[in-house]
């Protein structure tokens, strides 16, 4: 018996050590970037254009490019994602068609971003002659984040109590009226969670973006202009050794953005869970 207790103690200690190592890694990654990067941040860095290939100046075009690209991608993917989720959760039962759709969604989720980059380049940039542009990058990203949006939206829709649908239908609402008036408003927090996750993914994506949106320094004037996102800018600064300081600064901005998005998502999900528990 004592031997069993001792082996339990050893095993649990090892597991605990592994857990704390994981947490230490998280703390180190975030701490390291912020420690090196925060001193680089200033109004000038955030709100001026880069000079001298990025050796000096700021990252304004990259911030604008990142926001424009992410928002465009979500604007395209959101209706598709929510529409698919509504179809899967409300308009059909499990059939061969839904199996195919679910399988397609899973596959899409697993495709590495470099493949999306290749595809976006050959399809949007070359075949559809969009060139390196925000629009080509956004469409590529939209396909990438679609599975996340579908999954989170479907989960949110399924968490709406069945009885509310029955009541709505018993009062003479059509399926679609029920979806619009009862289901979607109450699935909203979950759908927003999906949007935030997609937003986070778009901000950090590099491989798919660099081949589709390009890496122009200039402030994009329209959806057909090439643009450089923060992640791409950071990659070029770091990889080509242009400026380690500016790279750290950009990394800090990226990490802060990710922290903000995750924090917001977590707060939203917390509220959502509380509501569900009621």
Question: By CB under 8 A, is residue 125 in contact with another protein?
Answer: no
Query: Judged by CB, which is closer to another protein: 60, or 169?
Result: 169
3-class state of residue 42 by DSSP: coil
Angstrom distance (rounded) from CA 149 to CA 195: 7
In the complex, the smallest distance separating the C-beta of residue 232 from another protein, rounded to whole angstroms, is 8
Residue 46 within binding range of another protein, rule CB under 8 A: no
Report the alpha-carbon distance of residue 231 to residue 213 in Å, rounded: 12
Considering the complex, what minimum distance in angstroms separates the CB of residue 10 from another protein?
9
Contact 142, 103 (CB under 8 A): no
**Residue 16 contacts another protein per CB under 8 A:** yes
Residue (129 or 221) nearer to another protein, CB: 129
**Residue owning tokens 């039962």:** 93
Q: Which is nearer to another protein, 21 or 277 (CB)?
A: 21
Q: Which helix (H) or strand (E) holds 53?
A: none
- Which one of 11-19, 44-52, 53-61, 216-224 is the stretch in contact with another protein (CB under 8 A)? 11-19
Shortest Å, Cβ 143 to another protein: 5
Q: What are 57's strand-pairing partners?
A: 50
Report how far residue 225's alpha carbon sits from residue 214's, in angstroms, rounded to the nearest whole number.
Answer: 9
Among 65, 190, 261, 272, binds another protein (CB under 8 A): 261
Q: Decide: helix, strand or coil at residue 50.
A: strand
Contact 118, 47 (CB under 8 A): no
Choice between 3 and 222, CB closer to another protein:
3
* Contact call for residue 108 and another protein (CB under 8 A): yes
Which of these segments, 19-27, 46-54, 55-63, 216-224, binds another protein (CB under 8 A)?
19-27
Residues 154-213 touching another protein, rule: CB under 8 A, are 161, 163-177, 181-182, 185-186, 200-201, 203-207, 210-211
Q: Residue 123 interacts with another protein (CB under 8 A)?
A: yes
Residue 277 CB, nearest approach to another protein (Å): 13
CA dihedral (259, 263, 266, 267) in degrees, to 10, reads -170
Length in residues, the chain? 278
Among 93, 96, 129, 221, binds another protein (CB under 8 A): 93
Region of 46-54, 55-63, 77-85, 216-224 interacting with another protein (CB under 8 A): 77-85
Name residue 222's beta-bridge partners. Answer: none
Position 133 contacts another protein (CB under 8 A): no
Determine the size of the site formed for another protein (CB under 8 A).
Answer: 101
Question: In angstroms, what is the minimal distance from the CB of 86 to another protein?
Answer: 6
7 is a contact residue toward another protein (CB under 8 A): yes
In three-state secondary structure terms, 128 is coil
Task: Return the SS3 of 177.
Answer: helix
59 phi/psi in degrees, rounded to 5: -130, 20
**Token pair belonging to 229:** 């996102």
Nearer Cβ to another protein, position 43 or 171?
171
State the CB neighbour count (10 A cutoff) for residue 21: 9
The dihedral of CA 221, 139, 240, 43: what is its sign? Answer: positive
């Amino acid at each position: 018996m004592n031997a069993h207790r001792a082996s339990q103690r050893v095993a649990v200690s090892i597991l605990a050590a592994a857990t704390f190592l994981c947490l230490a890694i998280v703390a180190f990654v975030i701490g390291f970037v912020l420690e090196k990067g925060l001193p680089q941040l200033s109004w000038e860095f955030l709100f001026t254009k880069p000079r001298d290939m990025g050796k000096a100046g700021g990252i304004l075009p990259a911030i604008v490019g990142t926001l424009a690209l992410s928002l465009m991608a979500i604007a395209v993917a959101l209706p598709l994602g929510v529409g698919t989720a509504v179809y899967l959760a409300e308009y059909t039962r499990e059939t061969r068609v839904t199996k195919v759709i679910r399988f397609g969604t899973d596959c899409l989720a697993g495709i590495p971003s470099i493949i999306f980059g290749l595809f976006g380049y050959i399809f949007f940039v070359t075949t559809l002659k969009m060139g390196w542009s925000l629009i080509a990058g956004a469409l590529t990203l939209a396909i990438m984040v679609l599975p996340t949006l579908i999954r989170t939206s479907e989960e949110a829709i399924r968490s709406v109590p069945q009885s509310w649908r029955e009541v709505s239908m018993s009062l003479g609402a059509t399926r679609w009226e029920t979806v619009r008036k009862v289901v979607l408003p109450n699935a909203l927090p979950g759908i927003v969670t999906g949007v935030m996750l997609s937003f986070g993914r778009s901000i950090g994506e590099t491989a798919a973006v660099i081949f589709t949106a390009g890496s122009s320094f200039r402030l994009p004037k329209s959806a057909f202009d090439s643009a450089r996102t923060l992640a791409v800018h950071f990659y070029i600064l770091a990889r080509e050794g242009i400026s380690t300081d500016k790279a750290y600064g950009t990394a800090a901005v990226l990490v802060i953005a990710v922290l903000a998005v995750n924090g917001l998502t977590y707060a939203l999900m917390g509220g959502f869970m509380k509501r569900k528990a009621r």
